[in-house]
Amino acid sequence: MIVAKNLSKSFKNIKAVDDVNFCIKKGEVVALLGPNGAGKTTLMRLLTGYLQQDSGEVSVYGFNIAENREDALRKIAYVPENAPLYPEMSVYEYLRFAGSQRGLENDDLNINLAEAASQMQLSSVFNQRIDTLSKGYRHRTAVAGALIHKPRILILDEPTEGLDPNQKQDMRAFIRHYGEKNIVIVSTHIMEEVENVASRILLMNKGKLISDTTPVSLQNLYPDKNMSEAFRLMTSEK
Amino acid sequence: MFQSFKAIFYKDFAAFFRSGNAYIILGIYAVLSFASAFYFGGYFSLDNTSLISFFYFQPDILTVLLPAVTMRSWADEYRLGTIEYLLTQPINYAVAVWAKYCATCLFGLLMLAMTLPLWLTSSFLINLDNLNIFSAYLACFLTVCTFCALGCAVSAFNKNTVIAYIITIFVLWGVYSINLDFLLTSTQQFSDEVFAKVIRSLNFSKHYQDVISGQIGLDNLIYFLTLIFPALWVNVVALDYKKQ
C-alpha cells in the first residue's frame, strides 16, 4: 500500500504538486494522467523519495519515506522517463549491478536476473553493450533492472514512450499482468494506454489531483465522448 | 549496505576501463611522470637516492590529471539521467559518495603503481633510501586521496563533465599553491605563535614536502584528513540539496 497525504511541492513560485491525497492498494494499476506540466513526474519523484516534499507525507507499506527512506525504497522500483542506463555496460552487467544494488547475491542474484531478463525478452541482447541497443531494448533493460528484486510497487514514467506498436503492446500486457499481484503506477498522457492497462485513474492538472476515478466512471461521466475528449474536457483551460 | 557499496564501487571503477578513458589517463600520466623526472627533474644529475626528481612534480601532474578521473563521478550520472535511478535505490547517500570516492582513489593508486618500475629499475643502478621512497609514495597517495575527494565534491555540483574538470583544476591548484606566509610578515607585530602555526599549517607544499622527505607527523595526516572529510561531507550535502 502506498499512501500520499496532503503532499505538496513547489519550485520557486510554481506549485508542482498541490495538496495531493490518495491511497493505492495491492492489485491496482494506476494511471497517473495529465497534460504536460501537470505534476506527474514531480509526484513520482516525491513517491520515490528523489525529491523532498514541502509538506505532507508519503508512506510505503507503513514506512514514511522521509523518515525510513531505505526501508520504503526496498519495496519500490522506479523507471524514470527515457529509462536512463549506463551506456558502456552490457545488459548482463547492468542487471547484475541492479541486483547487487538491491542486496542480491550468488544464486538469488542469478535466478532473479534470469527471470527478469526472460520477462523482458532480453536473451538475444544479453551480452550486448547498452549503447548499441535499440530504444525498445533499452527500455526493456531498464524495466528488467527494476524488476530484479521483485518490487511490490513498480513506478513507470511514460513506459511506452518511443516504443514501436508491438513493443507497446508487450509492455502494456506486462503491466497488466504485474499489476494483478502488485501495485503499478504508470505516468502517461496517452489515453489508449489508460484504457488498456489502468484499473484506476489519478487525473492531475496544474499540480492538483482533480479526479480519482476508474476508466469506466470517466467514460460514464461523458457518455457521448471518447476517453481523449473526456480528458480534454477535464483538463482544458476553459 | 556493504553490498550496495561494492556494487557502486565496482561499477565506477570498471567504468574507467569500459569507456577507455583509463588507458588514456594512465598513458599520459606515465609519460608526464617519467618525462618530468628525466628531463626537468634532473634524474641523472641529482643525488637521487630518494627519487626526488620524480616526486617533486607529482602534485603538478596530479592537479591536471586527477580531475579527469573525478569529473565523471557525479556529473555523468546527472548527464545520463541515471542519478534519478541511483538515488531512488535503498542506499544511504553517504555510502554512495564513499563508494564513488574509493573507486577514484583506487584508480589514483593504480596510476601511482604504474611508476613502480622506476623505483625497481633505479634500485639496480644506485643505492636507494627505500624507506624514504615509501614515505614519498605515501605522500603521493595522500595527495591522490585529497584531490579525489575535492574532485568528487566538485563533480557533485555539475552536470557538465568539462565544467567539472575545469573547476576541479582550479580548486586543486588553489589548494596546492595556497601559501599564506605573507600574512606572517605583514602582521609580524601582532601575530602570536599559534597564529603563525595555523598559517603555516595551511600550506599544502609544506605537508607534502614533510612527507616525501620522510618526516611524516600527525599534523601532516590531520591536514590531509581535514581536507578529505569535509569534501566528502560537501559531496553528500550536494546530493541532498538536489532533493530540494
C-alpha angle B4-A79-A21 in degrees, rounded to nearest 5: 105
State residue B191's pLDDT score.
64
Question: pLDDT tens for residues A60-114?
Answer: 999 999 899 999 999 999 999 888 999 999 999 999 999 999 989 889 999 999 9
Shared domain check, A229 and A156: yes
Three-state secondary structure readout of A52-109: CCCEEEEEECCEECCCCHHHHHCCEEEECCCCCCCCCCEHHHHHHHHHHHCCCCHHHH
Q: How, if at all, do strands A208-213 and A200-205 pair?
A: antiparallel
Judging contacts by C-beta atoms under 8 Å, the chain A residues touching residue B8 are 101
**B108's grid cell:** 589514483
Residues A62 and A116 in one domain: no
Same domain, A164 and A140: no
Residue A140: inside a domain: yes
Range of the domain at A94: 85-150
Domain finish residue from A124, A150, A176:
A150
CA distance B69 to chain A (A): 16
The answer to whether the CB of A94 falls within 8 A of the CB of A141 is yes
Minimum Cα–Cα distance from B1: chain A residue: A103
Q: Is residue A191 part of a domain?
A: yes
| Grid cell 509492455 in the structure block, residue | A171
Tell me the average pLDDT across B164-179. Answer: 91
Q: Of A98, A118, A150, which closes a domain? A: A150
Same domain, residue pair A111 and A16: no
| Boundary-marking domain end, from A122, A150, A178 | A150
CA distance linking residue A133 with residue B169, whole number of Å? 35
Cβ within 8 Å, pair B84-A84: yes
Interface test with B, best of A50, A89, A127 (most B CBs within 10 A): A50
Q: Are residues A52 and A164 in the same domain?
A: yes
Specify whether A48 is located in the same domain as A96. Answer: no
Question: Any idea what the CATH number is for the domain that residue A63 is in?
Answer: 3.40.50.300
**CA B187 to CA B196: how far, in whole Å?**
10
Q: For chain B, which residues make up each domain, given as ranges? A: 2-242
Positive or negative CA dihedral for B112, B113, B114, B120?
positive
- Residue A70 sits in the same domain as residue A119: no
Selected residues 17-76 of chain A with any CB under 8 Å from a CB in chain B: 45, 48-52, 69-74, 76
Domain count, chain A: 2
Q: Where are the alpha helices (DSSP H) in chain A?
A: 40-47, 69-73, 91-101, 106-119, 135-147, 165-179, 191-197, 215-221, 227-235
* Residue A216 confidence (pLDDT): 83
A113-161 tens-digit pLDDT: 999 999 898 989 999 999 999 988 999 999 999 999 999 999 999 888 8
